[in-house]
């Protein structure tokens, strides 16, 4: 394990990841029950080694938390307010609990470094939720999928980071056709519509929506999905890569 501090990591630069998944017609986010700060919640994140680029660091952090490689990952915003973390109401609580947890590893110098102002690079990732095996990091009690409609209060400015990530996802859903990363390899048109409705939190007229998606010419139609009534079975599709 790398020593925390300026020796191994880039000073005062961190990464926080918003990991989106989709299940049971709900858009979900993988969040961490933080070990410190009196049981608060946070986004999965980490520091950047001096030997790696920021994209490589984000991919490493994601692999450590999800067990997945080669997933859709995009940088969406940098959070660099001059008061970030420094004036957070969690700061002193976290410092105190870190020191009590391991006073030899979390020395006053290390805890001062960890709770000082950090510029955060925000990334969001899109995953097939059924393939994720959540792995708790050093500072996580556990990781949990939560509906975007049921997010608890989170540490520092992590709620703000999540809000901006959701906004970026909505903006890019059509422009970059990234939503299919949240679905299994094959899906019905209805399942595509339900995904869009979950992301945008509003209904779509089915005929207009299907025409819009099909006109993009990005889907390959496969055999019908058997439901017990062959004449009414919907077609399966997959994304044409």
Average pLDDT of every residue of the chain: 90
The per-residue pLDDT for 3 is 66
3-state class (DSSP) for residue 26: strand
Helix (H) or strand (E) holding 64: helix 54-66
Q: Taking the mean position of all CA atoms in its chain, how far away is CA 99? A: 29
Lowest mean pLDDT among 8-12, 33-37, 139-143, 203-207: 33-37
Higher local confidence (pLDDT), 233 or 137? 137
Q: What is the pLDDT of residues 132-184, one digit of tens each?
A: 999 998 889 999 999 999 999 999 999 999 999 999 999 998 888 898 899 99
Higher local confidence (pLDDT), 51 or 93? 51
User: Cα(85)–Cα(62) distance, rounded to whole angstroms?
Assistant: 23
Q: Which residues make Cβ contacts (< 8 Å) with residue 87, sequence separation at least 6?
A: none
pLDDT category, 227, cuts 50, 70, 90? low
Six-digit token pair at 61? Answer: 């952090």
Q: What is the pLDDT of residues 57-86, one digit of tens each?
A: 999 999 999 999 889 999 999 999 998 988
The per-residue pLDDT for 98 is 82
Higher local confidence (pLDDT), 2 or 120? 120
Asked if 189 and 210 count as a contact pair (C-beta separation under 8 A), the reply is: yes
| Arithmetic mean of pLDDT, 193-208 | 94
Query: Which CATH class, in words, describes the domain spanning 9-177?
Result: alpha beta
The per-residue pLDDT for 229 is 55
CATH 3.90.79.10 positions along the chain are: 9-177
Higher local confidence (pLDDT), 125 or 241? 125
> Would you state the CATH architecture of domain 183-239?
Orthogonal Bundle (1.10)
CATH 1.10.10.10 positions along the chain are: 183-239
The per-residue pLDDT for 240 is 80
Residue 16: strand pairing partners: 45, 122
What is the 8-class DSSP label of residue 181? G
Residue 231 has pLDDT above 60, yes or no: no
The per-residue pLDDT for 230 is 55
Six-digit token pair at 168? Answer: 């970026």
The per-residue pLDDT for 226 is 58
């Amino acid at each position: 394990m790398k020593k925390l501090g300026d020796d191994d990591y880039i000073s005062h630069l961190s990464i926080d990841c918003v990991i989106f998944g989709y299940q049971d017609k709900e858009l979900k986010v993988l969040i961490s029950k933080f070990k410190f700060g009196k049981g608060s919640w946070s986004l999965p994140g980490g520091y950047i080694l001096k030997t790696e680029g920021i994209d490589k660091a984000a991919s490493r952090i994601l692999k450590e938390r999800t067990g997945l490689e080669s997933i859709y990952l995009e940088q969406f915003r940098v959070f660099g307010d001059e008061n970030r973390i420094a004036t957070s109401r969690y700061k002193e609580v976290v410092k105190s609990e870190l020191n009590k947890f391991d006073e030899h590893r979390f020395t006053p110098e290390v805890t001062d470094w960890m709770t000082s102002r950090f510029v955060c690079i925000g990334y969001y990732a899109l995953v097939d939720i059924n393939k994720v095996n959540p792995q708790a990091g050093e500072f996580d009690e556990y990781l949990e999928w939560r509906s975007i409609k049921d997010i608890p209060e989170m540490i520092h400015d992590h709620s703000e980071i999540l809000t901006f990530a959701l906004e970026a996802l909505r903006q890019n859903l059509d422009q970059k056709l990234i939503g299919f990363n949240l679905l299994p390899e094959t899906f019905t048109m209805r399942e595509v519509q339900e995904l869009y409705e979950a992301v945008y939190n509003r209904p779509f007229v089915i005929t207009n929506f299907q025409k819009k998606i099909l006109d993009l010419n990005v889907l390959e139609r496969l055999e019908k999905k058997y439901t017990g009534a062959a004449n009414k079975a919907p077609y399966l599709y997959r994304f044409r890569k």
